[in-house]
Amino acid sequence: MSHLNILRTYALSDPAKIPSAVLFSNKSTSLTIYDAFPKSIFHFLVLPRMAKEDTTSDLTSLKTVLMGDKAYAKKIISALAGDAKILGDEIEGEMLKRYGFKWDIWTGFHAVPSMKHLHLHVLSTDLCSGRMKLKKHYNSFHPKLGFFLDIDAVLTWFDAEPSYFEGVSKLEAKAYEAILKEDLVCWSCNTTMKNMPTLKAHLQGEWNRQAKLGRKADKGS
């Protein structure tokens, strides 16, 4: 099975047939799976389910969905946002259970996805993971660089001027891919980091500090 099409396969599958190591939960319209290469302590993908005969819209990517019927696109993305919110609550529960405190979660799309079938990233903001290895991995989740598109921001596009919606929906690969090569900057403190090992040590330190403060606050309450 090509990794490029694996999400589409899941979207078409009977959830009962998806391995439990892959599937976290399923709802009538979406599936939540564990990201196979998690870039944070918690990292999930939420994908819209699809019937085999479904030709209502092209669910290949955010771009193809936005290019289709606008009302349908909004409905699809809003549904994902709702399911991601529920997932976020579940993640927070796990954070408290496993680590004794909770920290923030990001929910959004990659402007240029690496796999087919629309998928929403839901990940904790630590970015501490052995799978976080390359500059492009990091920059693709940096919340301020523009490659990672927060879902609430995407939803505001629907209420903007139609010309703005058209422009921003183009999601031109060339422009966005350049972002992945930008300098490594800590998303939290804006410090520029020399290289990936330095950045990773910095992120780990930031999270350790947050954990210490969080646990203390939790104990005190």
Binding site for DNA (CB under 7 A): 3, 37, 114, 131, 133-137, 181, 194-198
> What's the min distance (Å) between Cβ of 55 and DNA?
29
> What's the min distance (Å) between Cβ of 196 and DNA?
4
User: Closest Cα partner for 43 from 99, 11, 88?
Assistant: 88
Neighbours of 23 (CB within 10 A): 17
Q: Is 103 or 106 the residue whose CB approaches DNA more closely? A: 106
CA 132 vs CA 156, 196, 200, 220: distances in Å: 30, 9, 8, 34
* DSSP 8-state assignment for residue 48: E
User: Closest Cα partner for 50 from 108, 3, 118, 107?
Assistant: 118
The residue type found at 25 is S
Give me the half-sphere count of Cα atoms (radius 13 Å) on the Cβ side of residue 101: 18
Q: Is 167 or 197 the residue whose CB approaches DNA more closely? A: 197
Residue with tokens 């694996």: 6
Query: Distance between CA 161 and CA 28 in Å, rounded?
Result: 32
Q: Is 21 or 51 the residue whose CB approaches DNA more closely? A: 21
User: Closest Cα partner for 107 from 87, 92, 93, 90?
Assistant: 87
Q: Is 73 or 119 the residue whose CB approaches DNA more closely? A: 119
> What's the min distance (Å) between Cβ of 202 and DNA?
12
Report the Cα 17 to chain-centroid distance in Å.
24
> What's the min distance (Å) between Cβ of 9 and DNA?
16
Residue with tokens 């991601």: 84
> What's the min distance (Å) between Cβ of 152 and DNA?
24
CA 148 vs CA 133, 171, 177: distances in Å: 17, 12, 11
> What's the min distance (Å) between Cβ of 3 and DNA?
6
Q: Is 101 or 110 the residue whose CB approaches DNA more closely? A: 110
Q: Is 37 or 99 the residue whose CB approaches DNA more closely? A: 37
